[in-house]
């Protein structure tokens, strides 16, 4: 028996659709470093408990533009405030020469019950924020048991480096010295200028080589656009620093294999020609991966203090969703959401 369709209605369950521009995203996140780090930790725990869906990222590549790519990161979060969605983020390194950031992105949030999208927001800020929050969380938890790093070095001096510095200082870190290195002198000097304007304490040193920076730092942050390893010497890490390998492809397999390696998700990270993926291809095994950050958060793993420790986060789409949902809810609470009226127009199945 077929039930007759109703002709009278726009379903009440369909949510309004909002567009959240970058200025609102920035304002919702500014000064909230501690809250966002706590949010990222909570999502890592949900992911560890199996209460998320985080499929492999899909890479769109271009034969005529081999250095560029656009990545789709679909994901779903359960828990008390479930949300689904996807981040669509491009990486065009040639943008930097034109004076604009390498990455641009949008994030779509979908309603848990109806599947209807309810927000589209500028997401390069969301992406940088979740990356920096993850880095700050890892720096805090992986430095436990060893002297707190006092000398930080940044290899790669773009937007991500700036956000990581903001999140480190916003969660209580201070440094006696900050090292800077970039293949572009303009980028290195620009980042140094940012550090000076921010009032960052400690000496700011621009290093002329990656080796000099690594040897001088007990916390090393890689935030480059490197497509293949350019750091090959394990001896540069003889002092056993903590390494936040955010750009994923800087370290040669011999450096990876000489280190303790923590990732955010093993299957996600050992793919797409990351440094740890190259190490797996070289050795045919994965036992050089010590564990995940969630293992440390749950107390299943104590970070080693007598080896170089490398954190390589592939970047989980569930983190983008969580930060994006936080932004949406903050803007909604301020009653400043830009609602697009009648965005979903065909809501009666039979006209």
User: Contact 131/156 with Cβ under 8 angstroms?
Assistant: no
Any residues with CB less than 8 A from the CB of 222 and at least 6 apart, and which?
Answer: 155, 156, 243, 244, 245, 246, 247, 250, 251
The helix/strand count (H/E) of the chain reads as 11, 16
The encoded tokens of residue 124 equal 């390069």
User: Contact 213/192 with Cβ under 8 angstroms?
Assistant: no
pLDDT of res. 232: 98
- Low pLDDT (below 50) residues in the chain: 1-11
DSSP symbols for 115-166: --EEEEEE-HHHHHHHHHHHHHHHHHHHTTTSPPP-EEEEES-SHHHHHHHH
pLDDT of res. 97: 82
pLDDT of res. 2: 38
pLDDT of res. 50: 95
pLDDT of res. 8: 46
pLDDT of res. 12: 52
pLDDT of res. 1: 35
User: Dihedral, CA atoms, 319, 221, 272, 108, nearest 10 degrees?
Assistant: 30
User: Contact 36/129 with Cβ under 8 angstroms?
Assistant: yes
What are the backbone angles phi and psi of residue 276, rounded to the nearest 5°? -70, -30
pLDDT of res. 124: 95
Secondary structure (3-state) at 76? strand
CB atoms within 10 A of CB 7: 9
Domain segments of the chain: what residues?
Answer: 18-126+318-339, 128-315
DSSP symbols for 174-218: --SEEEEE-SSHHHHHHHHHHHHHHT--SEEEE-SSHHHHHHH-S
Query: What CATH homologous superfamily does 128-315 map to?
Result: NAD(P)-binding Rossmann-like Domain (3.40.50.720)
Among 330, 257, 294, 282, residue whose Cα is nearest residue 36 = 330
pLDDT of res. 93: 86
Rounded distance, CA 72 to CA 154, Å?
27
Fold of 18-126+318-339: ornithine cyclodeaminase, domain 1 (3.30.1780)
pLDDT of res. 96: 83
The structure tokens 């991966």 sit at 289
CB atoms within 10 A of CB 215: 18
pLDDT digits (tens, 9 = 90+) for 37-73: 999 999 999 999 999 999 999 999 999 999 999 999 9
The encoded tokens of residue 258 equal 């000489």
């Amino acid at each position: 028996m077929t039930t007759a369709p109703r002709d009278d209605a726009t379903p009440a369950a369909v949510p309004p659709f909002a567009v959240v521009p970058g200025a609102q995203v920035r304002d919702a996140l500014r000064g909230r470093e501690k809250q966002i780090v706590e949010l990222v930790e909570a999502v890592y725990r949900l992911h560890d408990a199996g209460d998320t869906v985080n499929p492999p990222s899909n890479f769109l590549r271009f034969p005529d533009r081999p250095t560029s790519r656009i990545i789709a990161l679909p994901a779903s979060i359960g828990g008390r405030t479930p949300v689904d969605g996807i981040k669509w983020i491009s990486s065009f390194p040639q943008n930097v020469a034109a004076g604009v950031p390498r990455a641009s992105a949008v994030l779509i949030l979908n309603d848990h019950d109806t599947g209807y999208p309810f927000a589209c927001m500028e997401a390069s800020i969301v992406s940088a924020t979740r990356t920096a929050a993850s880095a700050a969380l890892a720096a805090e938890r992986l430095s436990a048991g060893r002297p707190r790093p006092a000398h930080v070095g940044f290899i790669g001096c773009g937007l991500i480096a700036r956000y990581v510095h903001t999140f480190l200082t916003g969660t209580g870190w201070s440094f006696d010295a900050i090292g800077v290195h970039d293949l572009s002198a303009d980028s290195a000097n620009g980042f140094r200028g940012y550090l000076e304007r921010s009032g960052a304490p400690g000496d700011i040193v621009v290093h002329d080589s990656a080796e000099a920076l690594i040897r001088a730092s007990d916390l090393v942050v890689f935030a480059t656009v490197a497509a293949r390893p350019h750091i090959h010497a394990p001896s540069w890490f003889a002092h056993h620093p903590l390494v936040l390998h955010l750009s994923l492809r800087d370290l040669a397999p011999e450096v990876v294999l000489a280190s303790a390696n923590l990732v955010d998700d093993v299957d996600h990270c050992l793919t797409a020609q990351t440094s740890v993926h190259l190490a797996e291809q070289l050795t045919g095994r994965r036992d050089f991966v010590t564990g995940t950050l969630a293992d440390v958060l749950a107390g299943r793993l104590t970070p080693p203090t007598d080896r170089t420790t490398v954190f390589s986060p592939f970047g989980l789409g569930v983190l983008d969703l969580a930060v994006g949902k936080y932004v949406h809810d903050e803007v909604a609470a301020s009653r400043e959401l830009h609602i697009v009226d009648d965005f979903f127009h065909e809501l009666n199945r039979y006209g």
